[in-house]
Structure 1
């Protein structure tokens, strides 16, 4: 979940800052036909350019953001047997997955946690928590690494960026339509865009962006199943299931990081309804059941 949250937060910040800056400098005038009415064709092009720019910038700085936010210690020269094994295992799994070996790191956290990020499959970062290394067996850690390398090999971050670019485009597009409606219909402003337009647009972008994140989360959940399949292929189905079961057994234990930073998929039970659509990972029970049905 960590890579998803970092990506979405960075993406939202980039888009909002770009929107506010462009509005302050009067670039919204290019999206009107007579200074008042919106030109929907130009508006859509404008939103697509800046919507995809936000997601691509987030993608390109994702590895840097992950390093800064989690205090990762990238392993360049292994100092312990754990680090030596981690590098060797990552190298083996990457070779079998057909990608260049990613940077490998360890971050200080008690809970079992791991994530992968990076702008392409040959320039990625894979990291595991210190707690996972201390409490999980080598086979289980290998399965977790294989899962994360599966994300890299499947190009999940790039695909996520493209999906988010589309989401950004339509969020910005409809937010400006809402802003224009509020400005003209409710505040009766007929002399160009007033303060109501800008305030309503920003508010609508935040609300629509939150609601539209359900699309990104749905995509993320689908990709988790695929990454589990890669993990099972590379490390063995039994090891992959064992890793997920170990994660499930540790649910509810005290942790040293906020729940919002849980990455590999620790979810408390099968959630339903409104909450479920905003989950970045499927419940562990569903993932275990899906793995048991694989014929590998």
Structure 2
């Protein structure tokens, strides 16, 4: 079923890509876009995860890291992966102060889970476990292929739309709508791509919350983490995500600041609704319902063991 969803999604994004090519260059532009989209889809299937990891300058870490905070982070992911019946994923850290995390990879055998430096500093160990269990749930549910490929292809659609906006004018009679059609498609294509992303992301986040809470055995910790991450994501900018808004859907909480149109269509469900669902799950699991603060705790002081200018195998 996930492979079918991925196929349908890629077909929709390819159609958007071809439509934009048609308005920019007429029939020739559509054919060029079709060939390019086919090659991009194939390339994205095998390499989208590497593209995303390189984009965010992700640095791999393991149990040999000198910082105890990092060793605990790795050990918890390894243990939860085994408990969930998953192969051990690649484990990485992203050099940004905004607390957040994501998973990527075309299947569980080629998955990577990443937390930001800010996440490791801002949350308790139990909350970090809850967040990373959510990311492992995406791996277990095989969401990562669809999410990663969507981020890559939707980013290409936005780039082509911008190209059409600035260079699509002229008097070519083979281009329907002329400059007006080009401008319309250049404005509407990114919005349509965002709607596709929104449609596939919200349900996946709720399901990953549920499965992740079961993997970690602590819905309350994940609920608390979501509140803290949302609070800090509005105060601390993630520059890479701001420059590549199509990748925002990968993260557990929307990393965009919301200062511009990039945040017009949110790919994430309302955090309060996610917290409510998790607390109801905690009640069914027999757990105590702690009071969750709406204001996130201040991040802990930076740890000298967390790399600040990382260089890893992805870039």
Instruction: Give TM class, smaller chain.
Output: 0.5 to 0.7
TM-score normalised by L of structure 2: 0.62
Task: Quote the offset at 1:291 in angstroms.
Answer: 1.5
CA RMSD of aligned residues (A): 4.3
What secondary structure does 2:108 align onto?
Answer: coil
Identify the match of residue 203 of structure 2 among 214, 222, 227.
222
Residue 209 of structure 1 is matched in structure 2 by 189
Residue 62 of structure 1 is matched in structure 2 by 48
Given that 2:57 and 2:94 are in contact with CA atoms closer than 8 Å, whether structure 1 keeps it comes out as yes
Residue 126 of structure 1 is matched in structure 2 by 113
Task: Quote the offset at 1:63 in angstroms.
Answer: 2.1
Residue 215 of structure 2 is matched in structure 1 by 234
Within-5 A mapping of 1:103-142: 103-142=90-129
Moved more, 47-56 or 75-84: 47-56
| 1:214-266 deviations in Å (ceiling 9; x for gaps) | 02212111111111111111112111112112224435434463663763215
Aligned length: 244
Distance 1:202 1:60 in 2: 32
Task: Quote the offset at 1:157 in angstroms.
Answer: 2.8
Distance 2:153 2:52 in 1: 24
Task: Give 5+ residue unaligned stretches, structure 1.
Answer: 1-7, 32-42, 176-186
Distance 1:228 1:285 in 2: 13
Distance 1:198 1:101 in 2: 53
What secondary structure does 2:109 align onto?
Answer: coil
Residue 59 of structure 2 is matched in structure 1 by 73
Distance 1:131 1:165 in 2: 25
Distance 2:202 2:215 in 1: 20
Within-5 A mapping of 1:1-296: 28=28, 51=37, 53-76=39-62, 77-160=64-147, 189=173, 193=174, 206-213=186-193, 214-235=195-216, 236-250=218-232, 252-255=234-237, 257=239, 260=242, 263-266=251-254, 278-294=265-281, 295-296=284-285
Given that 2:59 and 2:93 are in contact with CA atoms closer than 8 Å, whether structure 1 keeps it comes out as yes
Given that 2:94 and 2:117 are in contact with CA atoms closer than 8 Å, whether structure 1 keeps it comes out as yes
Distance 2:236 2:154 in 1: 36
Distance 2:151 2:96 in 1: 29
Distance 1:277 1:63 in 2: 25
Quickly say closer, same or farther: Cα 1:211–1:253, change in 2 above 3 A: closer
Task: Give 5+ residue unaligned stretches, structure 2.
Answer: 1-9, 162-170, 286-315
Quickly say closer, same or farther: Cα 1:153–1:138, change in 2 above 3 A: same
Task: Quote the offset at 1:207 in angstroms.
Answer: 3.9
Residue 3 of structure 1 is matched in structure 2 by none
Distance 1:59 1:103 in 2: 18
Distance 2:268 2:86 in 1: 24
Given that 1:109 and 1:130 are in contact with CA atoms closer than 8 Å, whether structure 2 keeps it comes out as yes
Given that 1:59 and 1:119 are in contact with CA atoms closer than 8 Å, whether structure 2 keeps it comes out as yes
Distance 2:81 2:66 in 1: 22
Quickly say closer, same or farther: Cα 1:238–1:92, change in 2 above 3 A: same
| 1:34-72 deviations in Å (ceiling 9; x for gaps) | xxxxxxxxx8xx987765653443343222222222222
Task: Quote the offset at 1:142 in angstroms.
Answer: 0.3
Distance 1:88 1:162 in 2: 29
Distance 1:106 1:161 in 2: 18
Distance 1:66 1:188 in 2: 37
Q: If you compute each CA radius of gyration, which structure gives the higher value, 1 or 2?
A: 1
Given that 1:114 and 1:129 are in contact with CA atoms closer than 8 Å, whether structure 2 keeps it comes out as yes
